[in-house]
Structure 1
């Protein structure tokens, strides 16, 4: 009797394992397809990466004057070289983000969302897998071009540890950004037009996320506000970790990212389950 029960439990375990592998395989196929599609247009990928050259040139001129005016070799613990490498990583993350909110809105408006919801995969995870493939290549292109430019301007980048730590943090920052994009996109199921929400989110990233100015340069009160909001851990966390790759900072960045992922991801999941049930499509 016990052997039969054990056999049954083993069978259930194998089915679950096979099912999990099949689910992962579906999203891997979506990711791989998007990756190959992006690779089919290398000149387009390179062209998008050239924007970071302009940004780095502007930042270099701005911060060179700023450091010169202060007469200090470092500000808030960051040298000019540190600041430029920080901004390069921040811009690389920002420019490689895949904005899904606009995609969601368009799919609700044209009715294609109904087609996707009937597919044998999760609507949210499908878009995440597709967006990840696009973001990965865009990030690589931005890093390649941005690093070459900043290296010529201020010298070599931080050591290998910085690249590894920042790379790991960037993956979590993409997940967190995806959750916010999904949250904005899901509002299209109710209001359909999401431009205002998307604009507000982008401005929060630019100002409180540390894209334009390292949060270390903020007044103390604004630093406190920024570091207690999720936007800093999408941009500032990975970029700061890049120029200061300590284990203590790595642990703190990961902790903050995981906390906000749990909070925002949970909200996305709850809202997704509710709005899909109330879906109203134009003309349908």
Structure 2
């Protein structure tokens, strides 16, 4: 319990740190309003051109609620790749390794604390604008299922971001990896277009990769809660968390063994 307590303290401290700058927090979260306004108009045109109230079974209202949650996950996710890479490059990782906590678990706790606040604020602004444009959100009874999916999605994002950050042990510059990862999430995760509208072969490919469980799965659960879909999403997240988590700890241990301080 004592070990859990120190990470819980880090989590709460990061929440307070994030709340300490309300103007910056609100400004970053407001970007979702422009995003949703633009895509609301784009999708209105698409539905009008289709001449139907549904696209592959998704109504316009549900499409906007899907985009709201997908963008909330993306804007709220732990963005630690650059932070961890800088710690490796400037040598401060050696200082952090001497602290009475695990380097990865420290960043996980801090990242999730920040994600909780930023994600909540983004969902508040995004949910308000979609409600005003399209009407009330989906059945609240499905929200706990979607919330569990969002938590799993952020944990997956943490694993990949941490792996990218630890790549600084080898290449030092991680920005290209971060850029590639972001674009894979945008496309194969279904940020702008739900996977339901993709060609069948691309849908199948996406479901074999972790990106669909980072965005599409939780957002689809939000607009169409279903216990079968929930089990599929959570099962996929557990599989990829196990796989990526194992790879992350192996990479971390290897990086620590070959640690070379380059400055700081």
Q: Could you tell me the TM-score, scaled by structure 2's length?
A: 0.98
Aligned to 2:43: 63
Partner residue of 2:187 out of 182, 190, 207? 207
What is the rounded CA distance, in whole Å, between the counterparts of 1:35 and 1:212 in structure 2?
Answer: 29
What is the rounded CA distance, in whole Å, between the counterparts of 1:247 and 1:232 in structure 2?
Answer: 18
Matched, 1:114 2:94: yes
What is the rounded CA distance, in whole Å, between the counterparts of 2:95 and 2:158 in structure 1?
Answer: 22
Whether the 8 Å CA contact 2:83–2:165 is kept in 1: the answer is yes
What is the rounded CA distance, in whole Å, between the counterparts of 1:165 and 1:51 in structure 2?
Answer: 26
What is the rounded CA distance, in whole Å, between the counterparts of 2:77 and 2:156 in structure 1?
Answer: 11
- Residue-pair matches, total: 264
What is the rounded CA distance, in whole Å, between the counterparts of 2:58 and 2:238 in structure 1?
Answer: 26
Aligned to 1:267: 247
Q: 1:210 Cα deviation (Å)?
A: 0.6
Aligned to 1:253: 233
Partner residue of 2:4 out of 24, 41, 54? 24
Q: 1:275 Cα deviation (Å)?
A: 1.0
What is the rounded CA distance, in whole Å, between the counterparts of 2:236 and 2:60 in structure 1?
Answer: 27
Aligned to 1:220: 200
Matched, 1:75 2:55: yes
Partner residue of 2:79 out of 89, 94, 99? 99
User: Greater Rg, structure 1 or structure 2?
Assistant: 1
Hey, which bits of structure 1, 4+ residues long, moved more than 6 A? none
Aligned to 2:14: 34
Partner residue of 1:156 out of 122, 133, 136? 136
Aligned to 1:7: none
Q: 1:47 Cα deviation (Å)?
A: 1.1
Matched, 1:174 2:159: no
Q: What's the secondary structure of 2:238's corresponding residue?
A: helix
Q: Could you tell me the TM-score, scaled by structure 1's length?
A: 0.91
Matched, 1:237 2:221: no
Any stretches of 5+ residues in structure 1 without a counterpart? 1-20
Aligned to 2:164: 184
